[in-house]
Chains A and B, each alone.
Chain A
Amino acid sequence: MTLLAVERIKLFSTRSPWWCMALAVTLTVGMAALIAANTNDEFPLSVGVSQSFSNFGMIVIMVMAALAVTTEYRFGTIRATFLAVPGRVQALIAKTVVVAVLAGVIGEVVAFGSWGISTLIKPNADMAINSSVEWRNVAGTGLVFALSAVLAVAVGTLVRQTAGAVAILLVYALLVESLIGLIPKIGVNIQEWMPFMHANNFLTADSAALPEGAGPPRLDFPFGPWGSLAYFAAISVGLLVVALAVAKKRDA
């Protein structure tokens, strides 16, 4: 508990987390508002449509999570931390928990914020969250944000530099996973095992955000939505375990 309080003080006594949080929320909710305002009879607003930009927020939150570690390496405060808490694994787990919980809260704010603003803009649209698919689509965002923050902390711990970690995360999440589908024949098969694809499957499986035939082809995932979430969690936590083992062994 002490370590959690320590990491909370550290995180909130600098400015970048506040900026990232504000950016994540305004960006995503702003996009949702824009989309909601442009829906019409042909392309009607629904719960699923209001959530289609949660990825924007997730990317920003991953940057925040990676920064929480890499700035510690950049400014040497990680050494001050390890002097105060020689159990490096505990110290880094505490940091991960604090960042992940914060990311989860922001995820919920983003999701319900997007839903709320869409409802305000188009009060006549069917925006009731009344099926389990819709609940997963909205409330599940917090879980996905939290797990992607864990993944980002792991990458930050392994790479130790802001530029490197952020570049890896952005290029991977924004480009690699979608471009790999372009490889003929096997591309789509690989895609079905990629972590962020599964995160997305958890959020959007069985939802009718897009009319049939629109958007990228639907992937044939090996798991159902909750299996996909477990898979995404396993990859994030697995990477964190590797990062912790490396940090423990490495000279600080």
Chain B
Amino acid sequence: MIEAIGLTKRYGTTVAVDDLSFTIAPGRVTGFLGPNGAGKSTTMRMILGLDRPTSGKALIDGKSYAQLDRPLRTVGALLDAKWVHPNRSAKAHLQWLAKSNGLPDRRVGEVLDMVGLTAVAKRRAGGFSLGMSQRLGIAGALLGDPQVLLFDEPVNGLDPEGILWIRQFMQSLAAEGRTVLVSSHLLSEMAVTAQDLVVIGKGKIISQGSTTEFIEKATENSVLVRSPHLSKLGPLLVDKGYTVRNDDDGALTVVGATSDQIGDIAGANGVVLHELSPQRGSLEQAFMQLTGDSVEYHAEIGK
């Protein structure tokens, strides 16, 4: 279990992480979602004791990272797959990590097998592709067979095969009862990977809960209605308590009603319909709406 309690990080006057509190439960993949620059990496570094919080604290199974004895046995982390000396072989990299936490040398071979790097174990890590580096990073995280795992943007820059592999891998780790926290700036990716979501923007919590709830809450269900008798239909729908918006091109957008309900009302009142189509907002739109005010750097598109 990972807990953040009022976690705050200030760099001068900029607040990177602002009073974050959340709990990450074991046995599930939890997505840590937010636009670039939202403070995801900083938060993860504070959880792992690399950066010092300005105030607040982060606990892993009730202890701060510095209090953990041989921490790799409790927590595995992949923050940056490039944190490997390019002239050191994959095997040597894992060997010193294993040695530092009193793990047997055979564990190195086991994790290399697990991530499928046994054949290239003696090659220098600097020559690895991004996907291979990512696998080596995951091997390092798994070395101590930890119950808590943190991954920072693990699928960034990977090809579809690599993405699928990592996704399934994280889900299988969670299924074994481990706590898995994975950060991403892509909601569509998290929608298929994570069961729970912690969403942040500009260092603040925007939402936390199950992924399905978040998506339902975030994506507005509406129905587009076209009819020659809109002036008659509109008030009828308003009477029923639905929200009705007049679109620019002479159609109505009805929020809160299903297409069945609208069709029934129209039929009962003899209104001819030319179009009745359910609209579903995209995940990306929803994400933009929720974090829209909290994006650090805005880009104007098409203006």
Report which A residues bind B (CB closer than 8 A): 2-3, 5-6, 9-10, 13-16, 71-72, 75-77, 79-87, 249, 251-252
Contact = CB atoms under 8 A, between A and B. Distances in A.
A23 to B, nearest CB: 17
Contacts of A80: 83-84, 97, 140
Interface in B128-173: 140
Nearest to B137: A80
B84 A83 contact: no
A80 B84 CA distance: 8
A86 B65 contact: yes
Contacts of A14: 85, 87-88
A237 B68 CA distance: 29
Contact of A6 (B79, B84, B86, B96): B96
Nearest to A80: B83
B61 interface: no
Interface in B37-90: 45, 48-52, 65-66, 68, 71-72, 77, 79-80, 82-89
B295 interface: no
Query: Which of A15, A80, A81 has the most chain B CB atoms closer than 10 A to its own CB?
Result: A80
B95 interface: yes
B82 A83 contact: no
Which 7 A-B residue pairings sit nearest by Cβ, starting from the closest? A76-B83, A13-B92, A84-B100, A251-B51, A9-B96, A252-B50, A6-B100
Contacts of B77: 83
B285 interface: no
Contacts of A2: 99-100, 102
A84 B101 contact: yes
A137 B83 CA distance: 43
A75 B100 contact: no
B72 A9 contact: no
Contacts of A9: 92, 95-96, 99
A230 B21 CA distance: 52
B51 A84 contact: no
Contacts of B79: 79
A76 B80 contact: yes
29 contacts: A2-B100, A5-B99, A6-B100, A13-B92, A13-B96, A14-B85, A14-B88, A15-B87, A72-B85, A75-B85, A75-B86, A76-B80, A77-B84, A77-B85, A79-B79, A80-B83, A82-B49, A83-B49, A83-B50, A83-B71, A83-B72, A83-B77, A84-B71, A84-B100, A86-B65, A249-B52, A251-B45, A252-B45, A252-B50
A84 B84 CA distance: 13
B82 A76 contact: yes
Given A82-B49, A86-B65, A71 B100 contact: no
Given A75-B84, A75-B86, A82 B96 contact: no
Interface of B: 45, 48-52, 65-66, 68, 71-72, 77, 79-80, 82-89, 92-93, 95-97, 99-102, 140
Query: Which of A9, A83, A251 has the most chain B CB atoms closer than 10 A to its own CB?
Result: A83
A251 B50 contact: yes
Given A15-B87, A84-B101, A10 B96 contact: yes
A80 B68 CA distance: 15
B84 A85 contact: no
Nearest to A91: B100
Contacts of A16: 87
Contacts of B95: 9, 13
Contacts of A10: 85, 88, 96
A75 B140 contact: no
A109 B92 CA distance: 28
Nearest to B64: A86
A20 to B, nearest CB: 13
Contacts of A82: 49-50
Contacts of A86: 49, 65-66, 68, 71
B61 to A, nearest CB: 15
Contacts of B45: 251-252
A79 B85 contact: no
A76 B80 CA distance: 8
B45 to A, nearest CB: 8
Nearest to B81: A76
Contacts of B68: 86
Given A75-B86, A80-B97, 17 more contacts: A2-B100, A2-B102, A9-B92, A9-B95, A13-B85, A14-B85, A14-B88, A71-B85, A75-B85, A76-B83, A80-B140, A81-B100, A83-B49, A83-B72, A84-B101, A86-B68, A86-B71
